[in-house]
Amino acid sequence: MDSDEESEAQFIAKRQKVLQYGSLEEKEKQRLAGGGGGEGSLAADAIKAGIAAGNINITSGATMDLEKEYEQNQADLLAEFENRKKAKKIQVSTDDSEVKAHLRKLGEPICLFGEGPADRRERLRQELAQRGEDAMKQQKVQQETLRKKKDEENVTWYHEGAVSLKEARVWIAEYSIPKAKARVLKQKADSHFAAQKSVLNQDIHKRLRAVSNECSQIGDNRPLSFCQFSPNSKILATASWSGLCKLWSIPDCSPIRTLRGHNCSVGAIVFHPQATVSLDETACSMASCSQDGAVKLWNLVSDEPVADIEGHAPYRVSRLAYHPSGRFLATCCFDNSWRLWDLEVQEEILHQEGHSKPVYDISFQCDGALAATGGLDGYGRLWDLRTGRCVMFLEGHLKSVLAVDFNPDGYHLATGSEDNQAKIWDLRQRQCTYTIPAHNSLISKVKFQPTHGRYLVTASYDSSTKIWAHPVGTPIKTLAGHEGKVTGVDVSPNLQYIASVSFDRTFKLWASEMKGGL
């Protein structure tokens, strides 16, 4: 026997040692027949041994429902596959700016840390897939609803006014139409004397260049905010941040009376058109307003107010003006409206809205048919008092409109703004005809010559007052003398003086060194 046969014989011998013949079943039957029972089975013995060793833990009553968990996992997988399928079908723009805009509309961050354009597109696609088409449709419906709501807010609407308002409109129409007719006839007659008018303008400009400081007086211990001459030009009224209003005699600038009644800074004080002329001194001759919304009426003999106009508080009243007839008083309120009060019936007849921000100043046309308002929204509006309509929208200033004034010719209007510019508007052409880059700071007041409107005076926070030719807008004279911001200016009806008030707590009178007045 060779070596290969010997190794094969040894291998077979080893396998024969491992092999067992017979059946365990027979042995198990013999053991059970011997009286061992089920408890002595090999399986039971193995389980007991495993429990004793701590390898098998058996709890009582706890079960695990594998079928429900399997169904949930299966549903999640199916939903994920559906989302992936939807995401593949969704078309997303390749423009990264459009992707960012879409994410912003969805309320998601437009960029994540370390995210590139491709990742951003994929995130948008996944977001659209998760939200689904219903959510996108709902968002479009909401956007459409908001757009319709904005359109409805921009629509002009009207409501039925009181009977007193209708009567006031009819009264204003009957008052203004004859005055307008007389004004137009006079302008037609003056149009035949163009050469004489040119010579007269040159003479006025020569006198204006000779204007100098006539008088300076300390008006209060706080800054002065407003001034106005009385209709007879013999009294100057000033308003102060101290809450006091004072009357001064002209031209000696001596104090006449101190009006006490306001508790905070006074914004303006104005005279009745007939005060000191034909109105009795005990009648209501002046009106003033303050920052706390108080409006008070005064006469010429008492230092206490004769009446209060309530209804503005807690909003500030910045300016007020008498209608040329003297029957109505307009107030500018910081609730984005201006109001018209009938002093005869002692009630508010008009609460006019239209500005998107507080109304700061108001002026009436000499006929009494129109009113112009300037607002902190940067726009001016022209109102027809006979119909209540806004007949012209004054758009052009870059910042708040702080001053408005009508020219006595009835169809020119000046506005001063926080953008340091004054604009001249022609109501017949319905446009701005001239823009004056007037000052280095905001314009606080504009005032036309009271009788013929041949020049315009502007006051500014750059501590100067300037006179401009009208309608060409050329500079004539700069009145420099105040050490603080100039808050107000006025021209006397007799054309002898120009008054200005300032933050330096003084008021100054300016007069021409040449004879003939201003």
What pLDDT score does 20 carry?
52
**Residue 107 phi, psi (nearest 5):** 80, 20
Least confident of 3-12, 101-110, 259-268, 290-299: 3-12
Please give the DSSP secondary-structure letter assigned to residue 136. H
What pLDDT score does 512 carry?
93
pLDDT, one tens digit per residue, over 346-392 is 899 999 998 999 999 999 999 999 999 999 999 999 999 999 999 99
Virtual CA dihedral for 311, 316, 319, 324, nearest 10 degrees? -10
Is 484 in contact with 491 (CB distance < 8 Å)?
Answer: no
Cis peptide leading into residue 251 (ω within 30°): yes
In this structure, what token pair is assigned to residue 472? 């060409």
Question: Which residues on adjacent β-strands are paired with residue 245?
Answer: 239, 259
Region 44-62 average pLDDT: 70
What pLDDT score does 31 carry?
67
β-pairing, 390-394 vs 380-384, is: antiparallel
What pLDDT score does 485 carry?
96
In this structure, what token pair is assigned to residue 157? 């609407």
Most confident of 33-47, 51-65, 486-500: 486-500
pLDDT, one tens digit per residue, over 135-174 is 666 777 887 888 888 777 666 666 777 889 999 999 999 9
pLDDT, one tens digit per residue, over 382-429 is 999 999 999 999 999 999 999 999 999 999 999 999 999 999 999 999
Cα 341 from Cα 353, distance rounded (Å): 15
Region 485-495 average pLDDT: 96
Share of the chain above pLDDT 90, in %: 62
Interior CA angle at 145 toward 139 and 146, to 5°? Answer: 90
Cα 165 from Cα 171, distance rounded (Å): 10
More confident residue, 178 or 144: 178
Q: Which residue has the tokens 């001016």?
A: 380
Between 96-105 and 117-153, two packed helices, what is the crossing angle to 10 degrees?
50
Region 479-498 average pLDDT: 95
What pLDDT score does 38 carry?
47
Question: Which residues on adjacent β-strands are paired with residue 422?
Answer: 416, 436
Question: Is the model's pLDDT at 13 over the cut of 70?
Answer: no
Region 27-54 average pLDDT: 66
- Tell me the pTM: 0.72
pLDDT, one tens digit per residue, over 220-248 is 999 999 999 999 999 999 999 999 999 99
Least confident of 65-69, 74-78, 179-183: 65-69
